[in-house]
A and B are shown apart, each in its own frame.
Chain A
Amino acid sequence: SQTIHQWPATLVQPVGSPLSLECTVEGTSNPNLYWYRQAAGRGLQLLFYSVGIGQISSEVPQNLSASRPQDRQFILSSKKLLLSDSGFYLCAWSAGLAGVNEQYFGPGTRLTVT
């Protein structure tokens, strides 16, 4: 069965510091990978998605970047965090097959920028 891991679970970082959140998926090959952010009391905002190694699409212009160095690894980064980057970050995967739309989420990372 497939499993998705995200770490760390919580993170408190000062403004201006760098960020690296990691996500890995087990039990599947060639998945589509996603980074979402959920602000307090809001829905899910898609930040980045990837359909393959090195292929990243950005949905929202922002202070963040993403990379996919391996098939089942997805990394969210920032060089300098802003207060507005605080939120709950979720990684997800889907099968990457035509007509298969279900996405499966990791446990999330709570980021607080102080």
Chain B
Amino acid sequence: DQQVKQNSPSLSVQEGRISILNCDYTNSMFDYFLWYKKYPAEGPTFLISISSIKDKNEDGRFTVFLNKSAKHLSLHIVPSQPGDSAVYFCAASPKRSNYQLIWGAGTKLIIKP
């Protein structure tokens, strides 16, 4: 049973436009959410996170939105750059856990010049 779902295996966006990556979760016990970026043959890199007490968190070109009622979060990248082409993973952490992350399957983002 996939508790964290990234339903789009891939997404193609024009350079300079907005990239929106989506993630859905089923477990209401999740209270912390993270996004990671991964290039081929490298380890994932932490991008941005959000606590369930917030609905938005920004860091430069990256913004994460959390809709708890819909159990949905999204990562917005504005403007998209060629270096953003990578696989993006969404992960969630249950309450009172400081070790466990539940991972989505990833979305491959392709930025077209």
Contacts and interface: CB of A to CB of B under 8 A. Distances in A.
Interface of A: 6, 32, 34, 42-44, 46, 49, 51, 88, 90, 92, 94, 96-108, 110
Interface of B is mostly: loop
B13 to A, nearest CB: 21
B44 A100 contact: no
B98 A94 contact: yes
Nearest to B4: A43
Given A43-B89, A99-B98, A102-B49, 14 more contacts: A32-B99, A34-B99, A43-B104, A92-B43, A96-B98, A101-B49, A101-B93, A101-B98, A103-B46, A103-B101, A104-B46, A105-B44, A105-B45, A106-B43
Contacts, number: 54
Q: Range of interface residues on chain B?
A: 20 to 34
B75 to A, nearest CB: 15
Contact of A101 (B34, B41, B45, B104): B34
Contact of B42 (A49, A103, A108): A108
A49 B99 contact: yes
B20 interface: no
A87 to B, nearest CB: 12
B98 A43 contact: no
A108 B40 CA distance: 10
